[in-house]
């Protein structure tokens, strides 16, 4: 039965260029089928099946790659990666992430070294720590930095990107004193005498950031090229970049046209915070930002808009119904976070973009923020029903039961309301998160099992550079829910919301592809789809969960071309 259709295909179609054989092929198709071999012709998968059936398709010029029993999955996707900004950060900003940095003394040492290599007075930037991983387990202050950088302004950004710390030189340049008032949607941390500590949260970071020379186009471009290679080396072939400018869009096109962007990029425009900003974005972008009408080569896609409702779980600024906790058991009395800009204005913006037919994705961490966003989507759909816009809830950290019900209904009725979650938050930020969300709320973080029970889909993203980008960490975290260090024990998030490897893999393949409007083109291994494939040293479906985290990418194919080969780089 199998051989007849296979030979018929062979007679009608050109011989495959490449056959990947002797493999275990996790297809992630609708039946989660396992195959043994894949045929690739041009940039497409042309056949998937048994070794015998696929081998029969080969012609004299077909290249055979014997995978010696290794596992093939679809190329992994990142539904939320700050790729354009993060790529250049990797090259130009001091890395303060764990395990490079384990203490405030390490931070100071890294800044001292950068100052020594920089001209006097030049801006020094760094990013990537979080207090949960510092031995001192407290915020970094201006004072910590002044001794190592007396004459250079320094601005460091915490790993979530939602707050930063300036040294005294930077505070002086920005004119921030004890008389400076908090900004709208932002706060200046203060000592008991009212003087600034150096910590600037959310919108207040702008007071310093506007003084830092903007990144050059050449730097951003170099970052994209370099990061695309790093993605390929992790068996990754696509991503959703949230919140880009026209300049970044042009750079993506330029790098792609030069052949140096072997990943699919689905970009969200920065949606702004005001009605005027939204009007501008709609006037400039709505006509070309219809991903469901995309007729290009699916390499660089203008996808929709990104806006924010609230802040972060790392800075305790996300918008909650009840007070934030601290140190897991304690309470940050009176702090329930806030909407990062006027919540009614955000509601208006969502509606404007919805009415313009644009895909909307809103960063939403806190339970109150998430409710606000899903209720706004719900209202927009009832008043102006539009199917297929796939409006997203980025991160969706601790949704209420109400929010989950609304998301499930929006998915089923309108093909909208999809969580774009970050499973690895419970790992990489897990110690800080458990401390800040507290005992009860931590159990509600990333309720993937509940999503499944409601028949919901979600996409997973690393939020790089908030967590490390390799998607294997997201797969592992969705199953394990284990924090990096275990400051509040190994299990603050419980296992009740764990999912199995099948669901976890779908969240970084076919479900992520859906949120890039590419589910018919990538995200599973099926004839007709682009040949975006990943070859691994182990089988995700059969190894112990702990070993998924350390899986090694052996080969990556993008658009039918081998773009990474571990045996060649060694």
Query: Measured from the CB of residue 324, what is the shortest distance to Zn ion in angstroms?
Result: 20
For Zn ion, which is the closer residue by CB, 65 or 79? 79
For Zn ion, which is the closer residue by CB, 38 or 263? 263
Q: Which residue is nearest to Zn ion (CB)?
A: 463
Query: Measured from the CB of residue 407, what is the shortest distance to Zn ion in angstroms?
Result: 19
For Zn ion, which is the closer residue by CB, 206 or 527? 206
Query: Measured from the CB of residue 306, what is the shortest distance to Zn ion in angstroms?
Result: 8
Query: Measured from the CB of residue 65, what is the shortest distance to Zn ion in angstroms?
Result: 36
Query: Measured from the CB of residue 337, what is the shortest distance to Zn ion in angstroms?
Result: 17
Site string for Zn ion, 408-447 (x = CB under 5 A): ----------------------------------------
Tokens at 107, concatenated? 């931070």
CB 406 within 8 A of CB 374: yes
Q: How is 437-487 classified by DSSP, letter by letter? A: HHHHHHTTSS-HHHHHHTT---EE--TBTTS---HHHHHHHHHH---SS-B
Query: Measured from the CB of residue 395, what is the shortest distance to Zn ion in angstroms?
Result: 7
Residues 6+ apart with CB under 8 A from 295: none
Q: Looking at 507-558, which runs of residues are DSSP E strands?
A: 533-536, 553-558
- Cα 308 to chain centroid, rounded: 15
* Orientation angle between helical segments 401-414 and 367-383, nearest 10 degrees: 30
Residues 6+ apart with CB under 8 A from 65: 18, 19, 20, 21, 555
Distance of alpha carbon 155 from alpha carbon 111, whole angstroms: 10
Query: Measured from the CB of residue 116, what is the shortest distance to Zn ion in angstroms?
Result: 32
Query: Measured from the CB of residue 451, what is the shortest distance to Zn ion in angstroms?
Result: 20
Site string for Zn ion, 60-79 (x = CB under 5 A): --------------------
For Zn ion, which is the closer residue by CB, 209 or 254? 209
Residues 6+ apart with CB under 8 A from 81: 239, 240, 241, 461, 462, 463, 464, 469
Query: Measured from the CB of residue 265, what is the shortest distance to Zn ion in angstroms?
Result: 15
Residues in 83-142 at the binding interface with Zn ion, rule: CB under 5 A:
none
Query: Measured from the CB of residue 363, what is the shortest distance to Zn ion in angstroms?
Result: 6
CB neighbourhood size of 412 (10 A)? 13
For Zn ion, which is the closer residue by CB, 78 or 463? 463
Residues in 452-481 at the binding interface with Zn ion, rule: CB under 5 A:
463
For Zn ion, which is the closer residue by CB, 10 or 93? 93
By CB under 5 A, is residue 241 in contact with Zn ion? no
For Zn ion, which is the closer residue by CB, 89 or 463? 463
Tokens at 79, concatenated? 């539904």
Query: Measured from the CB of residue 479, what is the shortest distance to Zn ion in angstroms?
Result: 23
For Zn ion, which is the closer residue by CB, 215 or 290? 215
Give the chain's radius of gyration (CA, Å).
Answer: 24
Distance of alpha carbon 314 from alpha carbon 403, whole angstroms: 22
Q: Burial, 430: exposed, middle or buried (Cβ in 10 Å; 0-12, 13-18, 19+)?
A: buried
Q: How far is CA 479 from CA 159, 173, 416, 543, in A?
A: 23, 47, 25, 13
Q: How is 183-229 classified by DSSP, letter by letter? A: PTTEEEEE-TTS-EEEEEEEGGGHHHHTTSPPPPHHHHHHHHHHHHH
Size of the site for Zn ion (CB under 5 A): 1
With residue 39 as reference, give the H or E element that holds it.
strand 37-41
For Zn ion, which is the closer residue by CB, 24 or 80? 80
Going by the DSSP 8-state scheme, the letter that residue 45 receives in this structure is: E
Note if the bond before 165 is cis, omega within 30 degrees. no
For Zn ion, which is the closer residue by CB, 78 or 480? 78
For Zn ion, which is the closer residue by CB, 17 or 420? 420
Interacting residues toward Zn ion by CB under 5 A: 463
């Amino acid at each position: 039965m199998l051989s007849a259709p296979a030979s018929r295909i062979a007679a009608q179609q050109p011989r495959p260029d490449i056959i990947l054989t002797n493999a275990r092929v996790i297809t992630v198709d609708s039946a989660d089928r396992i195959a043994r071999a894949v045929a690739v012709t041009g940039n497409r998968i042309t056949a998937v099946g048994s070794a015998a059936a696929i081998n029969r398709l080969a012609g004299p010029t077909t290249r055979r790659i014997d995978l010696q029993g290794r596992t093939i999955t679809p190329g992994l996707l990142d539904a939320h990666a700050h790729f354009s900004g993060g790529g250049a950060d990797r090259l130009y900003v001091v890395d303060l992430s764990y395990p490079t940095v384990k203490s405030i003394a390490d931070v100071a040492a890294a800044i001292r070294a950068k100052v020594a290599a920089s001209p006097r007075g030049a801006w020094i930037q760094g990013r990537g720590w979080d207090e949960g991983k510092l031995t001192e387990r407290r915020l970094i202050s201006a004072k910590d930095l002044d001794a190592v950088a007396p004459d250079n302004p320094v601005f460091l950004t915490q790993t979530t990107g939602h707050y930063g710390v300036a040294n005294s030189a930077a505070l002086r340049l920005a004119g921030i004193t004890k008389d400076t008032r908090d900004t709208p949607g932002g706060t200046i941390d203060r000592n008991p005498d009212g003087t600034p500590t150096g910590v600037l949260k959310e919108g207040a970071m702008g007071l310093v950031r506007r003084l830092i020379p903007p990144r050059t186009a050449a730097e951003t471009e170099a970052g994209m090229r370099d990061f695309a290679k790093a993605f390929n080396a992790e068996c990754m072939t696509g991503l959703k970049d949230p919140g880009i400018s026209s300049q970044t869009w042009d750079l993506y096109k330029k790098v792609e046209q030069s052949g140096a962007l072997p990943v699919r990029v689905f970009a969200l425009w920065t949606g702004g915070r005001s009605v005027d900003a939204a009007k501008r974005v709609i006037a400039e972008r709505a006509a070309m930002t219809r991903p469901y009408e995309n007729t290009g080569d699916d390499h660089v896609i203008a996808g929709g808009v990104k806006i924010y409702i609230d802040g972060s779980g790392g800075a305790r600024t996300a918008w909650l119904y009840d007070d934030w906790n601290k140190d897991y058991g304690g309470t940050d009395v009176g702090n329930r976070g806030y909407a990062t800009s006027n919540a009614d204005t955000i509601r208006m913006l969502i509606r404007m973009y919805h009415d313009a037919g644009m895909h909307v994705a809103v960063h939403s961490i806190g339970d109150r923020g998430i409710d606000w966003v899903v209720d706004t989507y719900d209202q927009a759909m009832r008043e102006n029903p539009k199917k297929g816009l796939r409006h997203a809830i980025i991160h969706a950290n601790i949704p209420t039961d109400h929010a989950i019900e609304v998301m499930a209904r929006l998915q089923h009725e309108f093909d909208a309301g999809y969580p774009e979650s970050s499973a690895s938050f419970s790992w990489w930020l897990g110690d800080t998160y458990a401390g800040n969300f507290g005992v009860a709320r931590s159990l509600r973080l990333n309720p993937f099992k509940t999503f499944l029970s409601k028949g919901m889909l979600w996409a997973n993203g690393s939020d790089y550079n908030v967590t490390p980008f390799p998607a294997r960490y997201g797969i592992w975290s969705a199953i394990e829910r284990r924090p990096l260090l275990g400051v509040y024990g190994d299990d603050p998030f419980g296992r009740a919301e764990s999912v199995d490897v099948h669901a976890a893999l779908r969240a970084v393949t076919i479900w992520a592809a859906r949120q890039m409007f590419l589910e018919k083109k990538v995200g599973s291994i099926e004839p007709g789809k682009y040949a975006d494939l990943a070859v691994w040293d182990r089988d995700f479906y059969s190894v112990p969960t702990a070993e998924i985290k350390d899986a090694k990418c052996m080969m990556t194919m993008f658009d039918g071309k081998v773009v990474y080969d571990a045996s060649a780089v060694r």
